[in-house]
């Protein structure tokens, strides 16, 4: 039995209200001082389906910074500009089970190729290999990809950027290790600048749902009939999101939500739900989901966001398994 969009929207609204209580199980990231001022209790979601149906719930209009969700965009940009094998020579695609900013594996073997592009080590390497001869050109290449996906050129939150730069000691340490190992194309300072700027790009849950939908459709935009990403790159990216996108909680997330996703410490989560076989469930042709709730758990994932996605996935059978 198909559900109308109206029914789905009402249900989603109800689920958001039910899940707001889980915001108290997390805390806003404080190591980036500017993120401390987010509304701890906010929870917002947007789902966009294959036929363009869109539903929203909760605080869905808040603008927040992408943080680690931007790692998906830089990875795809480098893959598109330089090829998949070139990119994978510079970052592997193996999950670590370590926190996102861990330096441990760069020290175990020297020089060490970063384990995957969804943790900071891999993402700083990827940022340095964005196409272009200068840091400005490299960052512009990343914005070009986002502009294609969103239909607008997004802005950078300068306050978040400068605030993080002052306290980015772990990221600088990672970048120095990577530079010493030959895994940066530019200078440490430039790589950090590009990486932190990409983390400070501003989006809404609707933006995340849009990108998630294109990934769900293997790089194809179902509403404009345009291919925005090559199939192999969309597929590779979804595999990396599923195995590494939620950091050291990726296994549990795959088990209980079961859709390729990427989180950021600002509290955003971007999910791509590919088409599924159960025709009687909403969004069975695939959808993109954006979630925002700034209180994050120990792994750095939105506490209420993960719980809400788990609930939606259970009710509407979103798991790819
Ligand atoms: N800018 C953050 C950092 O480098 C991004 C991390 C994240 O979102 N998990 O620490």
Same domain? For 126 and 44 the reply is: no
pLDDT in tens, 38-54: 999 999 999 999 999 99
pLDDT at 4 over 80: no
pLDDT for the residue 6: 81
**Which among 29, 169, 265 is the best mutation to test ligand 1's pocket, defined by most ligand atoms within 8 Å of the CB?**
265
Per-residue tokens: 75: 């990875």
Radius of gyration from C-alpha coordinates of the chain: 18
Answer whether 114's CB lies under 8 Å from 125's CB.
yes
Confidence of residue 250 (pLDDT cuts 50, 70, 90): very high
Answer whether 46's CB lies under 8 Å from 56's CB.
yes
In order, the DSSP letters of 290-315 are: EEE---B-TTSSBHHHHHHHHHHHHH
pLDDT at 268 over 70: yes
Q: Which of 150, 179, 199 is the last residue of a domain?
A: 199
Q: In angstroms, rounded to a whole number, what is the distance separating the alpha carbons of residues 146 and 115?
A: 25
Instruction: Please give the ipTM for the structure prediction.
Output: 0.96
pLDDT for the residue 1: 42
| Interval between CA 273 and ligand 1 midpoint (Å) | 24
Q: Which domain holds residue 289?
A: 5-62+204-316
Question: Could you tell me how far CA 99 lies from the centroid of its own chain?
Answer: 16
Confidence of residue 174 (pLDDT cuts 50, 70, 90): very high
Per-residue tokens: 5: 């969009």
Q: What is the percent of the chain with per-residue pLDDT over 90, rounded to a whole number?
A: 90
Tracing tokens 């996703």 back to the chain, one arrives at 261
Annotated binding residue 163: no
Same domain? For 101 and 174 the reply is: yes
pLDDT at 278 over 90: no
Same domain? For 14 and 78 the reply is: no
CA dihedral (197, 142, 271, 192) positive or negative:
negative
Q: Which of 199, 214, 243 is the last residue of a domain?
A: 199
Same domain? For 55 and 78 the reply is: no
Q: What is the percent of the chain with per-residue pLDDT over 70, rounded to a whole number?
A: 99
Residues serving a catalytic function are 68, 71, 195, 247, 265
Q: Rounded to two decimals, what is the model's pTM? A: 0.97
For all residues of the chain together, what is the average pLDDT?
A: 95
Confidence of residue 2 (pLDDT cuts 50, 70, 90): very low
Number of domains the chain contains? 2
Same domain? For 89 and 142 the reply is: yes
Q: In angstroms, rounded to a whole number, what is the distance separating the alpha carbons of residues 223 and 306?
A: 28
Per-residue tokens: 63: 């603008």
Q: In angstroms, rounded to a whole number, what is the distance separating the alpha carbons of residues 17 and 44?
A: 10
Per DSSP, the three-state class of 9 is helix
176-200: average pLDDT: 98
Same domain? For 52 and 174 the reply is: no
Q: Which of 39, 83, 9, 49 is nearest to 273 (CA)?
A: 49
Per-residue tokens: 276: 């599924």
Answer whether 67's CB lies under 8 Å from 264's CB.
yes
Q: In angstroms, rounded to a whole number, what is the distance separating the alpha carbons of residues 318 and 315?
A: 8
Same domain? For 208 and 189 the reply is: no
Annotated binding residue 100: no
| Interval between CA 68 and ligand 1 midpoint (Å) | 5
Same domain? For 305 and 217 the reply is: yes
Same domain? For 102 and 195 the reply is: yes
Residue 221 lies in a domain: yes
Residue 208 lies in a domain: yes
Phi, psi of 92 (to 5 degrees): -80, 180
Ligand 1 first shell, C-beta below 6 A: 67-68, 100-101, 120, 164, 171, 199, 264-265, 300
Whats the size of the chain, residue-wise?
321
Kind and range of the H or E element at 71?
A: helix 70-82
pLDDT for the residue 33: 86
Q: In angstroms, rounded to a whole number, what is the distance separating the alpha carbons of residues 246 and 264?
A: 9
Dihedral, 237, 239, 243, 246 alpha carbons, nearest 10: 40
Annotated binding residue 171: yes
Residue 321 lies in a domain: no
- Other Cβ atoms less than 10 A from the Cβ of 285: the count is 17
213 beta partners: none
Q: Which of 199, 221, 236 is the last residue of a domain?
A: 199
């Amino acid at each position: 039995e198909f559900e109308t969009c109206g029914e789905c929207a009402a249900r989603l609204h109800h689920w958001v209200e039910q899940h707001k209580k889980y915001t108290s199980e997390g805390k806003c990231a404080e190591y980036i001082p500017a993120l401390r001022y987010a509304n701890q209790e906010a929870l917002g979601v947007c789902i966009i389906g294959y036929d363009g149906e869109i539903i929203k719930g909760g605080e869905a209009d808040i603008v927040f910074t992408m943080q680690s969700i931007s790692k998906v965009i830089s990875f795809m940009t480098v893959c598109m500009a330089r090829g998949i094998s070139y990119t994978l020579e510079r970052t592997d695609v193996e999950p670590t089970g370590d926190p996102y900013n861990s330096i441990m594996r760069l020290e175990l073997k020297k020089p060490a190729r970063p384990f995957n592009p969804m943790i900071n080590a891999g993402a700083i390497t990827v940022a340095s290999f964005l196409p272009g001869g200068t840091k400005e050109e490299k960052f512009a290449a990343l914005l070009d990809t986002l502009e294609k996906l969103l239909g607008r050129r997004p802005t950078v939150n300068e306050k978040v950027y400068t605030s993080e730069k002052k306290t980015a000691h772990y990221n600088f340490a990672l970048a120095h290790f990577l530079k010493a190992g030959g895994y940066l194309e530019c200078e440490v300072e430039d790589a950090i600048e590009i990486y932190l700027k990409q983390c400070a790009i501003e989006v809404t849950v609707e933006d995340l749902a849009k990108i998630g939908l294109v990934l769900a459709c293997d790089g194809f935009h179902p509403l404009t009939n345009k291919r925005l990403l090559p199939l192999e790159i969309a597929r590779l990216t979804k595999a990396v999101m599923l195995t590494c996108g939620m950091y050291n909680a990726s296994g549990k997330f795959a088990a209980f939500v079961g859709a390729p996703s990427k989180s950021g410490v600002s509290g955003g989560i971007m999910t791509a739900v590919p088409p599924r076989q159960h025709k009687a469930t909403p969004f069975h042709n695939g959808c993109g989901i954006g979630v925002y709730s700034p209180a994050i758990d120990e792994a750095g994932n939105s506490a209420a966001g993960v719980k809400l996605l788990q609930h939606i996935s259970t009710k509407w059978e979103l798991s790819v398994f």
